[in-house]
Structure 1
Amino acid sequence: MSGLVWVALLACAASIALVVLAVASPGRATVPLSRLDPSATPARSRLAGAAEDTTALADRLLGRTGRTGQLQEVLEQAGIQTRPAELLVITGGVALGAGVVGLATGGAAIGLLLVVLAPLGVAAVISVRRTRRQAAFMAQLDESLQLMASSLRAGHSVLRALDAVSRDSESPTAEEFSRVVNETRVGRDVKEALEEVAQRTGSEDFSWVVQAIAIHREVGGNLAEVLDGVGTTIRERNELRRQARVLSAEGRASGVVLFTLPLVVSGLLAVVAPDYMGALVRSSTGLVMLATAAALMVVGTLWLRTIVKVRF
């Protein structure tokens, strides 16, 4: 028989022997007595301990800067279930990894550039997620109001109507309304919880809904009809918003092209003529020119966004 067959037979024999030993003498599982003590701290690995210590250090640093609450609010608006200290540690790890890769592949200048760009990339991802989440909430608001009005006409209370929206809607509306219901059940005022939803989602339309509910709690009235009226106004505003977005599409596309074109051309030149582009990176004058160009590109992009952004 060939050597491969012998190896297969030996592997099968070893597997059978291990199974027989496990069945014949299973032994007795030993549990340390410390696990029976509820006050005892569970054992942790070195890697987990290092991660917890690093997160605690980042938490203390954020506490000294006073930005913990602001960063937590941004993460909640983006729908990211991560603590600010954990995000800081993750960002530092990404920047360190990007710097090492850049140093190994392109030298110290590329590594330093990637270290600077990595936190900016993380911030851009968070900003995009927050914008998409807020846009999704605003797009679902009309259906949410119709569902609330239907629940109120059926004789349910405001809290039951909010619960119905949390169960029958999609994300992020379901998550936000579920949070309102849970906070209200533990004793928080429903108006305060709804005001925080309007603040997290950045929805001016939903702030009108909160005001309508607050006025109804004080003076009474038919809240279902009020919500229908608010829903009609929101639909008209959404239609106007879509028309404005279509009319400003050319300007937004121009901004994207003007921002990405220099980056694409620089990347192609770096591949086709690396010596030509290397002169910009190796000299101090070239680095100053690159920094100036990047700053002007950012200013131009923000300027174009301000021009094409319609406020009403």
Structure 2
Amino acid sequence: MNPTVLFILGATLLTCVLVVLGVQAYAAGHAQRAALIERLSASGAPEPTGRGRRFRGLDRRLRRTRLGRRIEVKLATTGLELTPGEFLVYMLGSVAAVWLLAASLLAPFFGPVAGLIGLWAANAFLNWQRARRTERFINQLPELSRILANATQAGLALRTAIGIAAEELEAPAGEELSRVADRLAVGHSIEESLGELTERLPSRELVVLVSTLVLSARAGGAIVGSLRNLTVTLEQRKETRREIRTQLSQVTVTAYLVPGIGLGSLLLVNQMMPGALDRMTGAFLGQTAVVVALAMFTVGFVLIRRLSKIDV
């Protein structure tokens, strides 16, 4: 028989064997998953749910890089249900859309500029989401301190009190305390578990609460009285922060209005004189003027934000 025919028959047979083995492996895995869900349902545990993850291959490769690890750490502090791979794809897609939009509405020169602004905006969005989550957590600290004080006064251990607070509080405090309770359940110390919490959501109020809990757990003392006093202090700081935020709201709007005026001016000029931006950015002097103007708007935005930032 022709050797080529033998080779083809052998390759076909090997392929069929591999297909059969693959189908069997898939069927076995599917059966194991169904059995696991059935056992969890019988024991009263909730059925594992969750949306399907996209770009899994890219996500696995990205997590091995330094950039992927940085994105993963930032996403963990924001509470967003995104993987590093998903965030990278969505960010690049948004940057490409902004690039094309700016190049078509203004001039081709503004495409790369808009792309750079899009990259900065993606990082700024993560920072803003982290600050927003931290602010919400800070607003829940008085209630957290009150629950811990009541549980401790009832004679419960601090580990048990943290678990109770995780069940009673809403997100983000409930989610973060659940992580702390899980780490305590597998043998981590209170100091280490609460220290990771302060790294994820840095704030002075949380540092004071964690220091109180750690010192009380390490050296003992009147933890109930300390938590009661801390609850009153946190309530006062919460009201103070709210008043300051209200008084500085106009300054905050001004900071975002400054670059908006620059963008509106460019659109207005291009609308009144079609092609003006193309002719302006076609020369080196015009490009330099645009870059200097953008730099000045950026400096103005940063200065206004710094002047309106008050730490309480």
- TM-score between both structures, scaled by the size of structure 2: 0.75
Aligned-partner residue type, residue 303 of structure 2: W
Q: Do 2:55 and 2:86's aligned partners in 1 also have CA atoms closer than 8 Å?
A: no
Residue in 1 that maps onto 2:24: 36
Q: CA deviation at 1:59?
A: 4.0
Aligned-partner residue type, residue 22 of structure 2: S
Residue in 2 that maps onto 1:258: 258
**Larger CA deviation: 124-133 vs 109-118:** 109-118
Cα distance change of structure 1 residues 190 and 293 upon mapping to structure 2, 3 Å threshold: same
**Larger CA deviation: 169-178 vs 159-168:** 159-168
Greater length-normalized contact order (CA 8 Å, ≥ 6 residues apart) = 2
Is 1:289 aligned to 2:282, yes or no? no
**Residues in 1 aligned to 2:23 and 2:104: alpha-carbon distance in whole angstroms:** 47
Aligned-partner residue type, residue 90 of structure 2: I
Residue in 1 that maps onto 2:304: 304
Residue in 2 that maps onto 1:22: none
Aligned-partner residue type, residue 178 of structure 1: S
Aligned-partner residue type, residue 138 of structure 1: I
Cα distance change of structure 1 residues 235 and 112 upon mapping to structure 2, 3 Å threshold: same
Cα distance change of structure 1 residues 228 and 280 upon mapping to structure 2, 3 Å threshold: farther
Q: Do 1:198 and 1:204's aligned partners in 2 also have CA atoms closer than 8 Å?
A: no
Residue in 1 that maps onto 2:133: 133
**Residues in 1 aligned to 2:177 and 2:131: alpha-carbon distance in whole angstroms:** 19
Task: State the SS of the aligned residue for 1:274.
Answer: coil
Is 1:269 aligned to 2:269, yes or no? yes
Matches within 5 A, 1:185-200: 185-200=185-200
Q: Do 1:166 and 1:177's aligned partners in 2 also have CA atoms closer than 8 Å?
A: yes
Which whole-Å deviations, capped at 9, do the CAs of 1:145-195 have from their partners, x for residues lacking one? Answer: 112212222222212211122111121111100111111112211221111
Q: CA deviation at 1:86?
A: 4.3
Q: Do 1:99 and 1:114's aligned partners in 2 also have CA atoms closer than 8 Å?
A: yes
Residue in 2 that maps onto 1:155: 155
Residue in 2 that maps onto 1:73: 73
Percent identity, please: 21
Aligned-partner residue type, residue 242 of structure 2: R
Q: CA deviation at 1:51?
A: 4.3
Cα distance change of structure 1 residues 280 and 154 upon mapping to structure 2, 3 Å threshold: farther
**Residues in 1 aligned to 2:148 and 2:106: alpha-carbon distance in whole angstroms:** 58
Which whole-Å deviations, capped at 9, do the CAs of 1:36-83 have from their partners, x for residues lacking one? Answer: 348x999xxxxxxx94554455445xx3xx454443322222112434
Cα distance change of structure 1 residues 196 and 113 upon mapping to structure 2, 3 Å threshold: same
Task: State the SS of the aligned residue for 2:310.
Answer: coil
Cα distance change of structure 1 residues 150 and 117 upon mapping to structure 2, 3 Å threshold: same
Which whole-Å deviations, capped at 9, do the CAs of 1:281-302 have from their partners, x for residues lacking one? Answer: 3333222211111111111111
Matches within 5 A, 1:59-98: 59-60=63-64, 63=65, 66-98=66-98
Task: State the SS of the aligned residue for 2:275.
Answer: helix
Which whole-Å deviations, capped at 9, do the CAs of 1:228-259 have from their partners, x for residues lacking one? Answer: 11111222222332333344344333323323
Q: Do 1:152 and 1:158's aligned partners in 2 also have CA atoms closer than 8 Å?
A: yes
- TM-score between both structures, scaled by the size of structure 1: 0.75
Residue in 2 that maps onto 1:13: none
Cα distance change of structure 1 residues 247 and 118 upon mapping to structure 2, 3 Å threshold: closer
Q: Do 2:149 and 2:227's aligned partners in 1 also have CA atoms closer than 8 Å?
A: yes
- Stretches of structure 2 lacking an aligned partner (at least 5 in a row): 1-18, 31-53
Aligned-partner residue type, residue 152 of structure 1: T
- Stretches of structure 1 lacking an aligned partner (at least 5 in a row): 1-30, 43-49
Q: Do 1:54 and 1:89's aligned partners in 2 also have CA atoms closer than 8 Å?
A: no
Aligned-partner residue type, residue 181 of structure 2: V
Aligned-partner residue type, residue 209 of structure 2: V
Q: CA deviation at 1:139?
A: 1.0
Matches within 5 A, 1:37-56: 37=25, 51-56=55-60
Task: State the SS of the aligned residue for 1:142.
Answer: helix
Cα distance change of structure 1 residues 264 and 100 upon mapping to structure 2, 3 Å threshold: closer
